[in-house]
Chain A
Amino acid sequence: MTWLHLAIISPFLLAILIPFLYRYARNIHTGWFVFLLPLALFAYFLTYVPVTSGGGTHQANLPWVPSLGIYFNAYVDGLSLLFALLITGIGALVVLYSIYYLSKKTEPLHNFYVYLMMFMGAMLGVVLTDNLIVIYVFWELTSLASSLLISYWFHRQASIYGAQKSMMITVFGGFSMLGGFSLLYVMTDTFSIQEIIAQADQVVESPLFLPAMLLILLGAFTKSAQFPFHIWLPDAMEAPTPVSAYLHSATMVKAGIYLVARLTPVFGGTPEWFWLLSGFGILTLTWGSISAVRQKDLKGILAFSTISQLGLIMCLLGLGSASLYFTDADETTMYATATLAAVFHLVNHATFKGSLFMTAGIVDHETGTRDIRKLGGLMTIMPVTFTVSLIGTAAMAGLPPFNGFLSKEMFFTGVLNATELNIFNMETVGFIFPVFAWIASIFTFLYCLIMFFRTFTGKFEPSNYEVDHVHEAPKGMLISPVILGSLVIIFGFFPNLLTYTILEPAMAAIIPDSMNYIESAIFNIYHWHGFNAEIFMTLGVVAFGALLFINMGKWSALSIYQKERDPLNRAYDGSLDGLITGSQAVTRIQMTGLLRDYFAFMLVFMVMLLLYSMFYADAFAINTQDLAPISPHMWVLTILFIAATLVMPFINHRVTAIITIGVIGFLLALFFVVFRAQDLAITQLLVETVLVILLLLAFYHLPEIRKETFKPVFKLTNAVISVAVGVTVTLIAFSAHAMQHERPFGAISEYFIENTYELTGGQNMVNLILVDFRAIDTILEVLVLAIAALGVVTMIKLRMNGREDV
């Protein structure tokens, strides 16, 4: 246990204390206690910056289940540190914001901060450990914490729906991911990511490579809301706004991105990885940006915007993985730009999306609505919120001089470079990347305009708002968005602050093999590239986006614009309902509540299984030689016996049936006599007599039942089943008898016959087996009788509800 391990689990430890703090320090908002931890952790992680920026890594080992290869090994490199700083930094700002956002009088704050700390610890665990199983454990904890936070206001139906949906989808992905991890273990015999990366060459050649990759990507895509698993994210907007800002824009949805980046050294450089990532990424980007335009709710727009930006990052990671394919400076550098852009945009997105969620929360908090059809004219009323929104929206739209512009330019460079690839079939279809990227950027620009202008410009209509006096938010609530907004500007003007300290070490973790070939020039991010294709694409985006916005009146009446729900929700709801009704239908068919049906299922199954296995093993046999001779009186006895048995189902009177069963039992005793089993015959006679008396007692001396008659209804299915059972038993008996001479050992009875007298002093072998050789059977059989007798007495005597007496 080192300080690093302690840092990872410290949020969990704090979470234990939170309910006490909430209970015993009612006057102070619980958030203030919580606030200190992420702040301290952020400072702690900053001390690792010198380590990683020099290209170093830090590892601290702690065995958890060593016998299964599970070690809670903390591992810090550039990529982990980038995420850890994002998690703790934005975590601190979000906690600060939530202190002003959630009232301490009306909200169950202990729940909120326990879930939030649980989430933060889980997220730190995901990014700071080296063991796949540990990552999986923390991964599922983030899903759980996220669902708890979405359903924070659990009395709302929509919250429950959103929480359930996100849980279903992310846990589905989590399970697939576990499968993928297990396959990686099968291939490499280790769960440690660093050791797997060292064996990457073997992994790529293994036949399990593709299944493992698909399963892991399923986990990453569901968590990071990639098409078509993005549908949970818009419904997760039912969570309190600080949660949306933290989980659903800056951290949790980037866990999938982290996983993909982390495993790029293993899977990268292959066409499957390249195509799945960049293909689904660009699809998500386009789909998300077009869907965002249709939203009328501020958080809805931001949710789809998050989806589309995550698609962008995923696409860039895919494109960047191509650089692992090459080993010469020019091409490696060209495609590594995409990876740099991905990492850079990851940081940028966290800053501006966090601030935008917070300003949306402020607007909601101060006006009581987030509907852009009701909002308007808030520019002069909320000047600070307006300014922060302007910065955030401009960065999201990709306008200079903010950081979004830089990463957008690098994104365009990345997709344009991709068209020059001559591997992975890119020479034929590579052109779709810039085309889709450009279209998506136009829609991104459009929804940024809509969100910004519909909220802050136009005429102020007090009647639209439920709040009487709309005014600027309190200062405390503004601190966090202002800090994030400032970061947007700082990273915009001084991007190289980040490149050498954070971005380059992160890149070294994502594409380690390429780092030797990359020319250092690409790390110099600057605003003015000269008149190249990227700048014209940006100009085109601005022009078309503005044109679409100005002409909104013409196309906003289209029905496609009016609908807000993503059409894929219908598939999700339909399949969930179908699953429930389908399983109910299956249960209704099976679980009829009738004993007869269950007997029939069991018997049919057994008959089919037995006959099939006999057929499969070619085990049908009959032995007609070496049989015991049949004496004439046996024929009579057997025919009588079979006739008495066969007549049983046709008897329509109770007492006759009981007498017939007595006859069968006595005939069986006669068989035992013939087969020289004297003890059996005696026992059978006694038992049968007692049973017949019992049967008569139970079913004849009941006055009510005497009048009723037996109704033996003939049922064909029953007859078929019973004939099948009878035939199966007979066939098995034939085969067993025919093959008993093939067994490699003789009967054990020779021993009993030879030794009974010497060992026990008795002469009746059956009795001596029962009480001497195998007496434990007899003891337990006595116990059975005792239990049956007790049960009978209890049933007759005991009346729990006292309704009746006998």
Chain B
Amino acid sequence: MEILMSITVGVLFMVGTYMILTKSILRVILGLMLMSHGAHLLLLVMADLKAGAPPLLGEDATAFSDPLPQALILTAIVISFGVTSFLLVLAYRTYKAHQTDDLEKLRGTADE
């Protein structure tokens, strides 16, 4: 399972990288979202996937899955959500101001 998940993470990173290397702002944002998915999944995979019950004490199980990576991922999800929505509005504003979403046209002038 860990090997399969590692490959999945690699695919997420690969596609994410490809997306951020393109010209459109929307694609860059989508690429960043894919990469953060990859990072979250990787955090989870690096913990032990084998152990048993969800980390709820009421389950009365002998083994629980590791709660710490889950807490870390939860924090990371919220932060990347904040950043992504900020980026989205920024892209929206950029489009309104410059009438383009092509990054090559958003290079600015030489003296900037």
Could you tell me the distance between the alpha carbons of A577 and B57 in the complex, rounded to whole angstroms? 73
Could you tell me the distance between the alpha carbons of A715 and B23 in the complex, rounded to whole angstroms? 11
Known: A715-B21, A769-B67, A795-B89. A683 touches B82 (CB 8 A): no
User: How far in angstroms is the closest Cβ of chain B from A739?
Assistant: 11
Known: A676-B54, A763-B58, A765-B64. A730 touches B10 (CB 8 A): yes
Contact between A676 and B42, CB atoms less than 8 A apart: no
Report B-chain residues with C-beta under 8 Å of the C-beta of A791: 86, 89
Which residues 669-694 of A sit at the B interface, judged by CB distance below 8 A?
A: 671-672, 675-680, 683-684, 687, 690-691, 694
- Flag A307-326 by CB within 8 Å of B: 1 or 0 each: 00000000000000000000
Known: A668-B41, A675-B65, A749-B68. A792 touches B85 (CB 8 A): yes
Contact between B12 and A645, CB atoms less than 8 A apart: yes
Could you tell me the distance between the alpha carbons of A719 and B104 in the complex, rounded to whole angstroms? 19
| A753: nearest chain-B partner, CB-CB | B64
Contact between A769 and B17, CB atoms less than 8 A apart: no
Contact between A593 and B18, CB atoms less than 8 A apart: no
Report B-chain residues with C-beta under 8 Å of the C-beta of A646: 11, 15
Contact between B96 and A725, CB atoms less than 8 A apart: no
Q: Does A747 contact B (CB under 8 A)?
A: yes
Contact between A664 and B34, CB atoms less than 8 A apart: yes
Contact between A668 and B37, CB atoms less than 8 A apart: yes
Contact between B18 and A719, CB atoms less than 8 A apart: yes
Contact between A770 and B74, CB atoms less than 8 A apart: yes
- Flag A763-798 by CB within 8 Å of B: 1 or 0 each: 111100110001001100100110111011001100
| Chain B contact patch, size range | 35 or more
Contact of A721 among B21, B29, B47, B50 (CB under 8 A): B21
Contact of B103 among A596, A623, A730, A737 (CB under 8 A): A596
Contact of B49 among A657, A675, A730, A781 (CB under 8 A): A675
Contact between B92 and A698, CB atoms less than 8 A apart: yes
Contact between A603 and B18, CB atoms less than 8 A apart: no
Contact between B54 and A725, CB atoms less than 8 A apart: no
| B64: nearest chain-A partner, CB-CB | A753
Contact between B26 and A657, CB atoms less than 8 A apart: yes
Contact between A729 and B3, CB atoms less than 8 A apart: no
Report B-chain residues with C-beta under 8 Å of the C-beta of A757: 57
Q: Does A382 contact B (CB under 8 A)?
A: no
Contact between A649 and B15, CB atoms less than 8 A apart: yes
Could you tell me the distance between the alpha carbons of A115 and B107 in the complex, rounded to whole angstroms? 46
Contact of A705 among B33, B45, B101 (CB under 8 A): B101
Known: A627-B2, A691-B85, A737-B45. A765 touches B57 (CB 8 A): yes
Report A-chain residues with C-beta under 8 Å of the C-beta of B55: 676-677, 753, 764-766
User: How far in angstroms is the closest Cβ of chain A from B79?
Assistant: 5
Could you tell me the distance between the alpha carbons of A314 and B37 in the complex, rounded to whole angstroms? 71
Q: Does A40 contact B (CB under 8 A)?
A: no
Report A-chain residues with C-beta under 8 Å of the C-beta of B37: 664-665, 668
Which residues 82-112 of B sit at the A interface, judged by CB distance below 8 A?
A: 82-86, 88-93, 95-97, 99, 101, 103-104, 107-108
| B33: nearest chain-A partner, CB-CB | A661
Contact between B81 and A691, CB atoms less than 8 A apart: yes
Report B-chain residues with C-beta under 8 Å of the C-beta of A595: 28, 103
Contact of A677 among B70, B103, B108 (CB under 8 A): B70
Which residues 362-406 of A sit at the B interface, judged by CB distance below 8 A?
A: none
Could you tell me the distance between the alpha carbons of A676 and B55 in the complex, rounded to whole angstroms? 8
Report A-chain residues with C-beta under 8 Å of the C-beta of B103: 594-596
Which one of A185-193, A344-352, A487-495, A628-636 contacts B?
Answer: A628-636
Contact between A765 and B67, CB atoms less than 8 A apart: yes
User: How far in angstroms is the closest Cβ of chain A from B4?
Assistant: 6
Contact between A702 and B92, CB atoms less than 8 A apart: yes
Contact of A687 among B18, B23, B50, B78 (CB under 8 A): B78
Known: A645-B34, A684-B77. A725 touches B14 (CB 8 A): yes
User: How far in angstroms is the closest Cβ of chain B from A356?
Assistant: 51
Contact of B42 among A729, A747, A764, A769 (CB under 8 A): A729
Report A-chain residues with C-beta under 8 Å of the C-beta of B70: 677, 679-680, 766
Report B-chain residues with C-beta under 8 Å of the C-beta of A657: 26-27, 30
User: How far in angstroms is the closest Cβ of chain B from A32?
Assistant: 50
Contact between A680 and B73, CB atoms less than 8 A apart: yes
Contact between B64 and A785, CB atoms less than 8 A apart: no
User: How far in angstroms is the closest Cβ of chain B from A610?
Assistant: 12
User: How far in angstroms is the closest Cβ of chain A from B30?
Assistant: 5
Counting chain B CB atoms within 10 Å of each CB, the highest count among A624, A645, A658, A781 belongs to A645
Could you tell me the distance between the alpha carbons of A593 and B70 in the complex, rounded to whole angstroms? 39
Which residues 717-761 of A sit at the B interface, judged by CB distance below 8 A?
A: 718-719, 721-723, 725-727, 729-730, 733-734, 736-737, 740, 747-749, 752-753, 756-757
Contact between A774 and B11, CB atoms less than 8 A apart: no
Contact between A603 and B17, CB atoms less than 8 A apart: yes
Which residues 249-306 of A sit at the B interface, judged by CB distance below 8 A?
A: none
User: How far in angstroms is the closest Cβ of chain A from B12?
Assistant: 6
Q: Does A6 contact B (CB under 8 A)?
A: no
User: How far in angstroms is the closest Cβ of chain B from A13?
Assistant: 44
User: How far in angstroms is the closest Cβ of chain B from A246?
Assistant: 43
Contact between B78 and A785, CB atoms less than 8 A apart: yes
Counting chain B CB atoms within 10 Å of each CB, the highest count among A677, A705, A770 belongs to A677
Q: Does A654 contact B (CB under 8 A)?
A: yes
| B90: nearest chain-A partner, CB-CB | A795
Contact of B45 among A733, A747, A748 (CB under 8 A): A733
User: How far in angstroms is the closest Cβ of chain A from B98?
Assistant: 11
Could you tell me the distance between the alpha carbons of A645 and B93 in the complex, rounded to whole angstroms? 28
Known: A722-B18, A733-B10. A630 touches B4 (CB 8 A): yes
Contact between A765 and B75, CB atoms less than 8 A apart: no
A-B pairs, 6 with minimum CB distance: A726-B14, A730-B10, A788-B82, A733-B6, A765-B67, A722-B17
Can you add 7 more A-B contacts, CB < 8 Å, to A676-B65, A726-B13, A764-B56?
A593-B108, A654-B26, A677-B70, A747-B66, A749-B67, A770-B71, A770-B74
Can you identify 14 A-B contacts, CB atoms within 8 angstroms?
Answer: A595-B103, A599-B20, A646-B15, A648-B30, A668-B37, A675-B49, A677-B54, A687-B77, A699-B92, A721-B21, A749-B67, A785-B81, A788-B83, A804-B96
